[in-house]
Amino acid sequence: MEIHDSRKEKEKPLIQNVSFRNPNLKIHDARDNKFEKNSFKLLLFYQKHRKKIKWVVLGVIVILTILFPVWSGTMIGNWIKYFIGTIINIVKTI
């Protein structure tokens, strides 16, 4: 009786049927497709050009203020009125 030793290498049978046609393999792309979403591209664009975008927005606000002074003055006045009114209401409730 022979003792079983799992460390022995077993002889592998030779492959008899060898065909030379290419196997039908599928290529798997492991990259995630999250980089192709438009929102993700927009976020990357914003992160890359953050300073330029801030300057453009500030420039547009300045140009609108210069070109439309009555409209911008009304908007700024209303904003200040509502802001101070909100602060006064908060102080009243305390």
* DSSP category for residue 2: P
pLDDT for residue 77: 94
Tell me the C-alpha distance between 48 and 53, whole Å: 10
Q: How many domains does the chain have?
A: 1
Tell me the C-alpha distance between 31 and 57, whole Å: 35
Q: What is the mean pLDDT of residues 48-60?
A: 95
pLDDT for residue 42: 85
Taking the model in full, what pTM does it have? 0.44
Q: Is 89 a domain residue?
A: yes
Query: Domain span at residue 43?
Result: 38-93
Contacts of 53 (CB under 8 A, 6+ apart): 46
Q: Is 30 a domain residue?
A: no
Residue, of 90 and 39, whose pLDDT is higher:
90
57, two tokens? 């927005």
Q: What is the pLDDT of residues 4-23, one digit of tens each?
A: 666 766 666 666 666 666 66
Q: Is 82 a domain residue?
A: yes
- Measured between its terminal Cα atoms, the distance across the chain in Å is 95
Cβ proximity of 69 and 61 under 8 Å: no
